[in-house]
Structure formats: structure tokens, C-alpha cells
Structure 1
Amino acid sequence: MRKSCTKIVVALSAIALSSIAAAQVTPGLPVQPLNPPSAPAATQQAPASRPALTPQEQQTIAGLTGPAPQSAASTRPAAIHAPPPTLTVKPGVTTIFGIARSQTNRLVVPFRTPAITTSSAADISVDPAGVVYVKTDSNEPVSLFIYDKPDPTLAIAVSMVPADIPPVSVQLRVPNYYPRAASEPEVTRAGDRAAARGWETEQPFTETVKGLFRTLALGKVPDGYSFGKPDAGSVARARCDMPGLTIEPMQLMTGYNMLVVVSRVTNLQPVAVDVVETGCRGDDVIAAAAWPAVRLRPGQATELYVAIRAQVEDVGSESRPVLVREGR
């Protein structure tokens, strides 16, 4: 009995094996092998090599996948140019401009007694007339603080970049700036107010102003007028704006209803410049005139007469020292 059972099991096993073999070769029969054999290494195909890209194609791909490469023109430093003949500068703001390398450059400043502060090793000299000369053989910028020696609270800052350009001559102009004058006028010749009043009122006002300027042009002082140096108040009231020209108040003549500030106007530009009297526009300005020239060649100077109204003195009551000025 045991032998017959054994034969039956063997027979069933043979039938099962033959069925699996038939299923593997029978078309249409779905068979999912659990552990399929791996393909031999020799049968794997090597990846196809990519063709070499042209430089234009590489640039196109770089533009799609990342920032575009900078061209030679964009990486080239900006060209350095010389400044205009007149350059407006402001205190507290550094002004940058180009200068000639290994050449002498010239800066005309608005200060009477200019002084400089710098850490640069460049060759720098200061002319008391208001001119600063700069020369450098280096490529490093030359930075300066320039100010008026009696009044260092106001300074202008410049940074000059050396370049292969012609020598530079530039006038630095500070808007609404005028050199500080003395707090009180310095009188070298006393006047006579009564005589000045008679001289001013003996003819029409327009004729008086013309006669005043005519007398000054002849190098004389009008009758009754005092003569001396201007103070800060008269200089501020007789202020004139004339780009390209340097104005130096030198004399003050005081009459009864008028006083006159006489200035020396110099053209430090390389081209001719006109003296435009309408640049004197203060509230107290009566008239202005230049003599003997109104069109100045480079380096030429002329006189400028500015007549302003005399301040009215309050004689109705006696003045007293003020104890508190805040809020007045």
C-alpha cells in the first residue's frame, strides 16, 4: 500500500512539472516570473556619446540654465572723462571726476585762503590766490578735503581718478557760498552823513545812482561817504551769482541812504566769460555795474559796483541788551 502511494505522488509531481514547462512555451499564457535572471554584463549597451557642442550652442544652453555670461563690452571699465570747465560741488557730497595722469591739473576753488587735508601721496600744491595744483603718476584716486583756512567748518570733498586724458583745469563752484568777511566793517576814512545826504538828494534818484557809479569808475569816493573794508552783513546783502567768475569783495563805501560794495571779478576760465550784472538779485540791491570791462578774457579782471540800501536806524527809542533771544 505504501509503495502505491509513493508512485501516485511521483506521478503527480511529474504531471505538474510537465504542465509548468508547457505553460512557459504556450503562446498567450500569462506568466509572471518572480525572480527573473539578470542580463549578462556583456549584453548591456554602452550609452551613445553626445556630439560636441559649438560655442554658440553652449552659450545658448548657458542662457537657458543660468545667468548669461557677461560680454567683453560689459566687463570693460567705464571710460573716465575730464570734468566741464565749471563744476558745481556741494559740502558733504564727494564729487568724482577724472584728471590727467603724470600731468599737472588745476582746480580753482572759491576760498580766499584755501587749505587741504588728504592722505594721498600725490604732488599737491596750493596757490594763495585760490588755486590747487595736483599731479600724480599713480592709478589710485586722489581724494581731498578743501576748505577756507579761517572757516574750516565748510569743506568740499573731491575724488580725482587718474586717466590718460589731457591736463584738467576746472573751477569748483559752491552754490550760495561767499567767503567769510569781518563781523564789523573796517573804516579807513570816516564819512559825513549830512554831506552824503545832500549829495544823494540834490538830483533825481536814478541820476544819483549813475553819478555814484561814475564817481567810483574814476577812482574817487562820493562826497560824505566813508571808505573801508566790507563786513559780513554788507557782503551777504550784495551777493552776486556769476558762474565761471571769482568775486572778491574788497571795498565798502557808506553814504546816507546807500552803500556800495566794490568787488574784483576775475575770469579764471580758459574761455571768455561775460559779467552779467543781473546776477546780483538781493532784496536790498539797487543797481550793479562792471567797469572797465564786461567781457573778460581768460585771466582778466574788472571791478564790480553793487549799490544796496542802507539799513534804517531806529532812533525813536533807546536800545537795551536782550536777555533771551530764543523765539524772537
Structure 2
Amino acid sequence: MDKFVRDALLGVGVAAAGALLWGTLIERNQFTLREVEAKVLEPGAQPLRVLHISDLHLAPWQEGKIEWIKSLAALSPDLVVDTGDNLGHINALPAVEEALSAFQGIPGVFVNGSNDYFAPEFKNPFTYFAGPSRAKTHATVLDTAGLQHFLTNDLGWANLNNTAATIQIGERRIDFMGVDDPHRNFDSLSRMERALESLQSEDIFEETAPELTIGVAHAPYQRILNEFVAQGAQVMFAGHTHGGQVCVPGFGALVTNCDIPRDQVKGLSSWRHGAHTAALNVSAGLGTSIYAPVRFACPPEASLVTLSPRD
């Protein structure tokens, strides 16, 4: 091997080691608030500030992440949307309760991700290039019931897993539809549709049409987004993708872990189905699996999405 090749290989090795150190020690803890605006309300309507949190993957020792999440309550959002994967460890529930208790009194909705059911396990990262990850039958079961009890009873948030709900924010009626984790095929669009139909037909709301309809899912699979749009959603929220987690500067995400196009793996975009279009916000999330604690060119994030009137 000549000196040029040896030096080139050494340089590549040094760069790879530096990138790994950056991604594991620094960037994965560089929590970021992404602020965007979606013009989806009727002209003249008052803006609605939505805090979108996702993929916390909390572990008991992640005190810095817990404190940063708590600090988001100072934003005083009108609504919190939690798109799942809050748990990241078999003993994570107390950490989730500590992080999210700061939002008590703020209206919110949530759905589950697969990591709200099953503890993380080591996976070969290269398998993601072959398509979305597959479920294992021997995964450790987490305290999903305890998580849902905290979110619904302590925080007062609406559980949208395969159902629909209405929230009154001041004088505004907001309708929601949601599904359980599509990545594990826990979603039931038929149950969601029946719940939405029942909600919209209730006599108590016959004189108050919803100002907005929002769709919420953990994983942004196309079948889910298409159905949300078909059912009248103007805005949709999802997570799961981690924004690709490891990205290439100037190119973006290498994988999405679902069937959403790579250029919509994170951030605010538009989703069209048939003759209708809705705004879609996919969060890159705040965490990673404890077995893959690295992010590169994709810092952890929460989103503050201001829903404002159309021009």
C-alpha cells in the first residue's frame, strides 16, 4: 500500500471517529426548538400555537433532556401534541412524569409509539437500509397503562389511539382524529372513522362547527396521511422518523423507517391526497434508542407550530 492510499485511509478513519464522537457526545444533546408557521385557519381567525413533542425515548438518567423538556412550558402554548415514543427504558415512567408535569393545565393530545409498548433492543443499524424495522416477538413489555393513566388523568390530555376527540380551547372547537402506532400495525382506521363520525354527529355540537380538524399519528405512513386528508384534516402531526437521525450534509436523511418520501422526513410540508391538501409537521424527535445514542446533521428537536389564517 503506497503512502497516498495509507494517508487517505487514515484521514477517512479520523473523520469517521470525529463524526461519531460529535454525534454521540455533543449533537444528540443539542436540543433545539424549531419554530414554523402553517397558514391553515380561516381569514381573520386568531393564531393557535401548538407545541409538538415526539420521540422522547426517555431513560431515567437523562436529566439534561428532562430539564429541557420542562423548560418548554415557558412557551405557554395553546395546545400540546405528543406523537409518542415517550418511554425509552423499562424504568422510564417516573422520568416522563417529571418531564411532562410542567404542562399540567395546558390542553393536549397524544398517541402511542411502539416504544411506549416495548423496551428498546439492540438492532443492526444497517438493516434500516433494507426498509422499515421489523418487530421482535420477545420484546420486553413496558408500563403502557401507567403512561396513559398519567397523560389522561394527571395532565388531562386526550388519548387519540384509534379514536377521535374534541377539545375546547377558549371559544374554539378543535376536532382531532388519531391512530395507534402504524409501525407496529396497531392502527385501526375504521375505528377512528367511526369515532369521528360519531363525534361530528353529536347534538351538543350541532351549532358549533369545528374551527380546525387535526390528524395525529406516531409514524407518518402514507396510508395514514391519505386517510387523514380524506377525513378532512387540515393539519397533521407525526414523529417516528428521528429526521433520519444520521444525515449527510447537503443530502439529508439516508433512511426514514417508513414509506414517507425522504424530503418530508422532518419539518413542515404539504401532503396532497386526491383533491385535498393538508399541512404536515414531522418531528425529528428529542431522543434516540439507548442502543443507538447518536445523531449527526440532525439535532434533537421540539416544534412550535403557529397555525395562522390563510392569506
Whether the TM-score (by the shorter chain) exceeds 0.5 is: no
The structure with more strand, counted as a fraction of residues: 1
How does the TM-score come out when normalised to structure 1?
A: 0.25
Higher relative contact order (CA 8 A, sep 6+): 2
How does the TM-score come out when normalised to structure 2?
A: 0.26
Larger radius of gyration: 1
The structure with more helix, counted as a fraction of residues: 2
